[in-house]
Amino acid sequence: MTPTRPPFDRDHLPPGIDPPSPQDPEALGRYRVVGRIGAGGMGAVYAGVDEAGGCAAVKVIHPQFAADAEFLARFAREVDLVSRVRGTCTAAFYEADVNAGTPWLATEYVRGLPLRGHVRENGVLTGGVLLALAVGLAEGLSAIHGAGVVHRDLKPGNVIMSPTGPKVLDFGIARTVDGTALTKTGGLVGTPGWAAPELFDGVEATDRSDMFAWGGMVAFAATGRNPFGTGAADALVHRTRREQPDLDGVPPELLGLVRRSMDKDPARRPTAERALAELTSRWSATRVQPLPHDLPAPHRPSPQGGGAEGEAPPAPTAGFGPVPPTEIVPALLATEWRGITAPEPRRIRRGRRWPVVAAAATAAVLVAALVAVWLVADPTIPGADDPSAAVTDTGQDGGDGGSDGGSDGGDGSGEAAVDDGAARVAQARRLALDATSFEAYYGMTVGGDGSEVYQLYRYEEEPEPVYLQTSPAGPATSEVMYLGAGLDDTVFRTISSLTGDTEVGPYYRNPGADPSMTEHAYRERLVDDLDLAAESGSGVEYLGTSGAPVTLQYPPEEMGGMAGLEGINGHHYTGAYSKEVSGSGDTSVGMVEHTFDLWLDEEGYPLLFTVYSEPDFGSGPVPGTDTTVYVSFNEDVDIEVPDESEIEPDQPGF
């Protein structure tokens, strides 16, 4: 099979691919490496281009595993199995070399957004597109199971919404070779919230385990909600084992099949082949004209009813003999899969460390942030002079530990595996707080009216620790410079344009002010919610590398403006956490679920953190988006600290 040929070279890469680093290989077999798609404990995935310009996703295993004869033999067996998978909705196998110094496997590179990202950007799937997704996933699993492979970790991040149909990724090699993604402590298979309940009892995964995840995927696509909600891994496991999935909103024509697929008893779930037959036969029965590839079968009677559970009934067509369900899939996709596009390749800008942005915001933080904005700095703030205090111990082992030192867990003992979401989030917080300087800004929207409010952050340790927080708000800008632990060490300044001319007021102290004025003036505020995100444990899902969509309308010119938000990519993580939200007068409106997207650079520093929530302040849910763009770390930051003689002892009169 010939690889696809998108416009694809080292200077023009699709979103989701980073430029290669000096440590990455220059070539793998006949493929020249032009980018890095992702990496994990067992190996890495590269973007490769052959001499004819065809591209592929080239998977390699780490050298220490290649040196293990038993592992290499297993790898070869799995390559043989995966090479037999022939599905319309699976990534195609191209070739492999298991005897190379760096064993590799080349498969189709599939362009498009992961299912979760597509739902988040475009809303839930309905009608024919939802049916096509259900059919495509069933067809993909049917092909995988027919080759003797069990996926074991079907979830929204492993399905790509390509322009030609849904594509199931990460089957076979990634899961069977590494022991089906067991944690280091053993027992946890797949991803909590998506994995079948029997897997948490130590039962070996089967094709019916994949069908449980299939039902959850269809439910998610139809509703935008995880079938067992969000939260810590143990809570998700408990709900999966003891509670029924949230299927409210799944259309009636799919609800019965989805519910059967998510039965707690694997024996009562349909096979992928059976599900595919039910879906395609129902669709075929609505066609006025027979499908182009239907063939007359005058001597073969039409089937009456379905077969036994687990057997696929042939799909009836008007006036013709039965057509195998897999032959109906291409026509169904051509008819129903509409309006799905893939992001175009973009020019890569090298030498930049920070990202493009996608919006995100917590209306909770927004309410307080709209009142006042700070620019602060001080290592005496609790936790600022003790990097370990900034670390969150998630208590979770992620992934397989792998060859890169395993899961950091946020304790600083080693680098976290890129696919260990919780550890990576905790590590990002630690790196940010260990930085000797940083610049960032914080964009907020609330109510969906498109208005934006910003805060700008600058910090430097030399020549003296100072943390400056600026709040542009209409014709006036407030600045707060924090040099110590309380109001006596905090100076304020107002820059006004009320008269049309910019008037820069003097710095002043306000010792008689309410001490709560400085409650937000602490360096950890920049990364506070990363604690909550890390504590979501296995709920932090790694989606690979991608470019964050630019949704901010008015990024501050002081930090690059719109030009600074182009062509920036990073490792993408997503998840959810709960947080108490306060309204006017600090009155709590209760715990509110926040969903987030986080992009990290290759070193693990945060690039972009976006949070979405809809708290109800008494008149209905209010959508909020909170976006933190981390411009730089450990680079020169110029903050002009006023001389003591330039600081007024009290707030000037107006």
Supply 641's token pair. 């600290």
Distance CA 145, CA 124 (A): 28
**How is residue 354 annotated by DSSP?**
S
- Neighbour tally for 301: CB within 10 Å: 9
Q: Is 288 exposed, middle or buried (0-12, 13-18, 19+ CB in 10 A)?
A: exposed
**Which position has the token pair 């110029």?**
638
Q: How many Å apart are CA 150 and CA 78, to the nearest integer?
A: 11
CA distance 461 to 378: 8
CA angle 458, 372, 388 (to 5 degrees): 45
Give the length of the chain. Answer: 654
Angle at 496 between CA 490 and CA 502, to 5 degrees: 120
**Element at 582 (helix H, strand E):** strand 569-582
Catalytic residue among 18, 24, 97, 153: 153
Backbone φ and ψ for 543, nearest 5 degrees, come out as -110, 10
How far apart, in whole angstroms, are the C-alpha atoms of residue 11 and residue 8?
8
- Residue 577's contacts (CB-CB under 8 Å, 6 or more residues apart) are 230, 529, 532, 533, 535, 536, 539, 593, 594, 596
Distance CA 158, CA 88 (A): 16
Q: Which residues pair with 575 in a beta bridge?
A: 596
Residue 21's identity, in one-letter code, is S
Q: How many angstroms separate the most distant Cα atoms in the chain?
A: 103
In the structure encoding, which two tokens stand for residue 60, read together?
Answer: 């390699």
Sign of CA dihedral 210, 215, 218, 223: negative
- Residue 284: which H helix or E strand, with range? helix 272-284
Q: Which residues of 614-640 are buried (b: 16+ CB within 10 A; e: fewer)?
A: ebeeeeeebebbbbbbbbbbeeebebe
**Any idea what the Cα angle at residue 448 is, between residues 442 and 454, rounded to 5°?**
20
Based on C-alpha coordinates, what's the Rg of the chain?
27
Q: In 434-555, which ranges are E strands?
A: 437-446, 453-460, 466-473, 476-482, 490-496, 503-504, 507-508, 541-547
Asked if 212 contacts 261 with a C-beta cutoff of 8 angstroms, the reply is yes
- 280 in Cβ contact with 325 (< 8 Å): yes
- In three state form, how does the secondary structure of 84-126 look? CCCCCCECCEEEEECCCCCCEEEECCCCCEEHHHHHHHHCCCC
| 393 is known as an active-site residue | no
Strand ranges (E), 352-489: 375-377, 437-446, 453-460, 466-473, 476-482
Report how far residue 177's alpha carbon sits from residue 42's, in angstroms, rounded to the nearest whole number. Answer: 9
Asked if 457 contacts 353 with a C-beta cutoff of 8 angstroms, the reply is: no
Active site positions, annotated: 153
